[in-house]
Amino acid sequence: MQYRDLSENLSFGGQPNADELRELARKGVRTIVNVRAPDEEEANLPPAQEQALAESLGMTYVNVPLTAKTIAEDTAAQVKRAIADAKNTGPVFVH
């Protein structure tokens, strides 16, 4: 999985698989914000499985699916709020 650090507490990248999610936890990521739709073909982990694994690793999991059909001002605001709230507790990874 490729990812990029935008700041000390915010990174974004591709959909992590289970091993990559464990690595993010080891690196100190506290929150995962998933903006992928649950039916995306490339999803390594369906959202429910990703949430269960993230939470078992001590991370908070937030899923706000964005698609061309669902992106709207309120949906974008949900993502922005989730990131802003999470940055107060530690590093955030968005995918």
Q: What's the CATH code of the domain at 14?
A: 3.90.190.10
Per-residue pLDDT of the chain (95 residues; tens, 9 = 90+): 788 988 889 999 999 999 999 999 999 999 999 988 777 766 678 888 999 999 999 999 998 888 777 677 777 788 888 888 877 888 999 99
* pLDDT score for 69: 74
- Establish if 21 belongs to a structural domain: yes
- Establish if 51 belongs to a structural domain: yes
- Establish if 68 belongs to a structural domain: no
- Establish if 91 belongs to a structural domain: no
User: Where is 86: in which H helix or E strand?
Assistant: helix 73-87
* pLDDT score for 41: 63
- Establish if 78 belongs to a structural domain: no
Q: How far is CA 92 from the centre of its chain?
A: 7
pTM of the model: 0.85
Note down the domain range covering 18: 1-63
Please work out, in degrees rounded to the nearest 5, the angle formed at the alpha carbon of residue 25 by the alpha carbons of 23 and 28. Answer: 115
- Establish if 86 belongs to a structural domain: no
Parallel, antiparallel or unpaired: strands 31-34 and 60-63: parallel
Place of tokens 């429910």: 48
Split into its structural domains, the chain has a count of 1
